[in-house]
Amino acid sequence: MYIDNYDFATRRMTLEQNIEVSTLKRALELYEGLKGQLTIKISGDVLDKPILNILIYGKISTLCQICLDPVEIDISHNNIVPIFKNESQLDEALFGDNAEYTDGIVADPEFNVLDFIEDEVIMLLPVAPRHKTCNYVSSVEIHNNSFEVLKKH
């Protein structure tokens, strides 16, 4: 799904859609057993500059990195992303001496919404998903008595 992100924002358009996590190919490569559905809502507006207001929510299931059983992760994310006319404006706004933004994108007449949402989801997911009740096993425990540690878990 592609939009002209600058035009979308300045015309204050809105897009709302359900996305199956199985369509997020890069995320599937990073997380074993990834499934679920997310609702996305993208609204354009103009504040100091054109922006996209991104709302992503839903539940995702993947495997716990400790016990390898499914673990459910609640997603609730809202982000305002300013749109800059070119790379140099974006770089100055994010990294310049008077940087005033922490996020932003460049105006793009063929902005890939699904790729952008996938990037957001990957950044939201924990590096090593686990249940709150699963405990880590330290390498010291394993080294000192591997078989006793395994009996406990």
Q: In whole numbers, what is the pLDDT of the chain averaged over residues?
A: 89
Give mean pLDDT, residues 111-118: 96
Residue 17: other Cβ atoms inside 10 A: 13
Q: Please tell me which residue, 134 or 151, carries the higher pLDDT value.
A: 134
d(CA 133, CA 120): 27
CB of 51 closer than 8 Å to CB of 43: no
Residue 103: other Cβ atoms inside 10 A: 12
One-letter amino acid of 130: R
Q: Is the pLDDT of residue 6 over 90?
A: yes
CB of 78 closer than 8 Å to CB of 39: no
Residue 111: other Cβ atoms inside 10 A: 20
Structure pTM? Answer: 0.80
d(CA 100, CA 84): 13
Percentage of residues of the chain with pLDDT beyond 70: 88
d(CA 115, CA 127): 19
> What integer pLDDT is reported at residue 135 of this predicted model?
76
| Residue found under tokens 């609730």 | 76
Tokens of 85: 């006319």
Q: Please tell me which residue, 96 or 138, carries the higher pLDDT value.
A: 96
Q: Please tell me which residue, 56 or 31, carries the higher pLDDT value.
A: 56
Q: Where does the pLDDT of residue 146 fall: very low under 50, low under 70, confident under 90, or very high at 90 and above?
A: low
> What integer pLDDT is reported at residue 33 of this predicted model?
86
Write the DSSP symbol of residue 22.
Answer: G
Percentage of residues of the chain with pLDDT beyond 90: 68
d(CA 76, CA 131): 18
> What integer pLDDT is reported at residue 100 of this predicted model?
86
Give the chain's length.
Answer: 153
